[in-house]
Amino acid sequence: QVQLQESGPGLVKPSETLSLTCTVSGGSITTYYWSWIRLPPGKGLEWIGYAYYSGSSNYNPSLKSRVTISLDTSKNQFSLKLSSVTAADTAMYYCARDHNILNAFDVWGQGTMVTVSS
């Protein structure tokens, strides 16, 4: 079955760029849409954005100016870059498969905690 695994630094300094990678195993990244979602401490889930292998992407308007999500089909991975981070970007970050027929996120990674601090 399809499995997702996030990787990247757990600590990022304010004003720098947060970079995470999600490795997809057990299935091809050239099907479905692939999203990043985060869970700040004490808050609810927030969808960050998605990318598709065709090159299309879409982002949460609240983060759009700072976010880039891209796919590397040769490695079956997709990545998140969030620039100019502040403490408000401290969160558990999840990658997820967006199943367009189920109309839901049906497979999730375990998540990776990112703290923004100097």
Partner 1 sequence: EIVLTQSPATLSLSPGERATLSCRASQSVSTYLVWYQQKPGQAPRLLIHDASNRATGIPVRFSGSGSGTDFTLTISSLEPEDFAVYYCQQRSNWPPWTFGQGTKVEIK
Catalog residues that contact partner 1 under the rule CB under 8 A. 43-47, 49, 58-62, 94, 102-106, 108-111
For residue 33, what are the CA distances in angstroms to 55, 56, 61, 74, 110?
11, 9, 18, 16, 18
Least CB distance to partner 1 at residue 18 (A) = 18
Q: What is the rounded CA–CA span in Å between residue 11 and residue 5?
A: 18
Least CB distance to partner 1 at residue 45 (A) = 4
Instruction: Locate 91 and state its tokens.
Output: 């969160």
Of the two residues 2 and 16, which places its CB atom closer to partner 1 in the complex?
Answer: 2
Least CB distance to partner 1 at residue 37 (A) = 8
Q: What is the rounded CA–CA span in Å between residue 29 and residue 31?
A: 5
Of the two residues 25 and 73, which places its CB atom closer to partner 1 in the complex?
Answer: 25
